[in-house]
Amino acid sequence: MLDKRKFYINGAWVEPVEARDLEVIDPSTEEVCAVISNGTEKDADRAVEAAKAAFEGWKHTDPQKRLTFVEKILAIYNQRKGEMAKAISTEMGAPIDMAIEQQVGAGGRHIETFIDSFLHFSFQSELVKGHKDSALQYEPIGVVGLITPWNWPMNQITLKVIPALLAGCTMVLKPSEIAPLSALLFADIIDQAGVPKGVFNLVNGDGAGVGTRLSGHPDIAMISFTGSTRAGKAISKNAADTLKRVGLELGGKGANLVFADARENAVKWSVLRCFNNSGQSCNAPTRMFVERSIYEKAKKTAKEVANNVKLAVASEHGNHLGPVVSKAQFEKIQGLIQSGIDEGATLLAGGTGLPEGINHGYFVRPTVFADVTPNMRIFREEIFGPVLSMIPFDSEEEAIAMANDTDYGLTNYVQSEDKERCHRVATALRSGMVEVNGLTLPKGSYFGGVKYSGHAREGGIWGITEFLDTKAISEW
């Protein structure tokens, strides 16, 4: 069992102000794999004080020097990717091969993209094009609080820490207390890269304690949060009294519109994409709308794909699903699957209970429901597990209306060989992102949504400007 009770504050690993142990559970085995400290407001205050003291020096550090530190971070990150994959696999259950290729890989790609984007970024430009007598200046917003989730640890940590460093901000990171091991390793990488003390600080703790203190702290200029919509609302309310900037990347209930002329493997791709990371992705295509003429065939394909998905412990190599992250998450998913059964959806595959042959670990059976209707909970609520809902449609207009009938608006998907239709539908869908025919957004794009999915714009130039204020200057 790992002892990870210390916090990283002001360039050193320090003991918590008050000893409050918190166990980290390996979701594959349900056994304790590490012990961390559950921080208090005093720990958060100590970290904010260090970040505040370091801000002016880091703000005035030459941007190219800040870039050099990030390049060092990337080099060390790549050297230690095996360690990072093991940490992620242990703490949140990602299969080890998936952890190194997708989980760790996502973090590395984000750092690379921020480096490339920063090479083309200027902290000063014309305020109005063609007017040389005025200027627009970008300035770091100040000390920022960063609160990250457990489902894609390095994806979210790099999307926040790296642009904040490049922008000239100092920071306090509170990773998820459920999956903190990768964040602690990342702090060690920051330390190894020689980032000046106080610029980056890490305090473990829960949302009610450290999280609440950071979002309401008068010396924090911005809070950047990724997690549930419920928590995002609470953070916004707590941050209101200090009028800090609030960046929120929240939940999703992605619509996936599959037309009759979609490519041959569209349904199979859609099912596997929904189940990836054991369904624990806010941008998962969890509602599959299928044109009625191919609906019966699509149901058969989805059932076959789901029934052929393998589940195994995270340490096992190969292409399979691991467990979901925790007992609480497992029980929430079980309740939603049962609601789908009770409310009359057709269960094609999966269902409640542990998969056959598995008697421990938080493993959820890959589940597919057909004939789902908009009044059902599984249509409306974010499940965050390997659960797919299938709904038939008769017209393009009907599909768009049902897809937009949600509080969320993160990522939607369109599957059709008709390019003009894809353009029409993508334009009509209400979301921050739309992916067409399985093609991911290009390098340098942002990640973010609308409505109850939040309004953050993370990644590339967009992600750097999230941490900057603008200043308009005349007679330049």
pTM for the whole structure: 0.97
Catalytic: which of 169, 274, 282, 422?
Answer: 282
Match domain 2-250+454-474 to its CATH number in 3.40.50.300, 3.40.605.10, 1.10.10.10, 3.40.80.10: 3.40.605.10
pLDDT of amino acid 476: 86
Number of Cβ within 10 Å of residue 130's Cβ equals 5
DSSP state of 347: E
**Hey, is 311 helix, strand or coil?**
strand
| Residue 282 annotated in active site | yes
Fold observed for domain 255-442 = Aldehyde Dehydrogenase; Chain A, domain 2 (3.40.309)
Q: End-to-end distance of the chain based on CA atoms, in angstroms? A: 60
Exposure string over 325-335, b if 16+ CB within 10 A, otherwise e? bbeebbebbbe
Joined together, the tokens standing for residue 109 give: 């790609």
* pLDDT at 34 (0 to 100): 98
Each residue's pLDDT tens digit, 94-150 = 999 999 999 999 999 999 999 999 999 999 999 998 888 899 999 999 999 999 999
- Give the Cα separation of 452 and 8 in Å (integer): 33
Give the model's pLDDT for residue 253.
98
* Range 449-452, long-range pairs (CB < 8 A, 24+ positions): 449/249, 449/250, 449/252, 449/408, 449/409, 449/410, 449/411, 450/409, 451/406, 451/407, 451/408, 451/409, 452/229, 452/250, 452/251, 452/407, 452/408, 452/409
Query: What residue ranges of the chain have pLDDT lower than 50?
Result: none
Give the 3-state secondary structure of residue 190.
helix
| pLDDT at residue 1, as a whole number | 86
Phi, psi for 98 (deg, rounded to 5): -65, -35
249 is catalytic: yes
Q: What residues contact 226, with CB distance under 8 A and at least 6 apart?
A: 147, 148, 149, 156, 159, 160, 248, 249, 250, 456
Sheet with strand 468-474: strands edge to edge: 124-126, 134-140, 468-474
Of the residues 177, 249, 382, 458, which is catalytic? 249
**Domain extents for the chain?**
2-250+454-474, 255-442
What stretch of H or E contains 245? strand 245-249
| Per-residue DSSP letter, 367 | E
pLDDT of residue 131: 85
d(CA 201, CA 435): 36
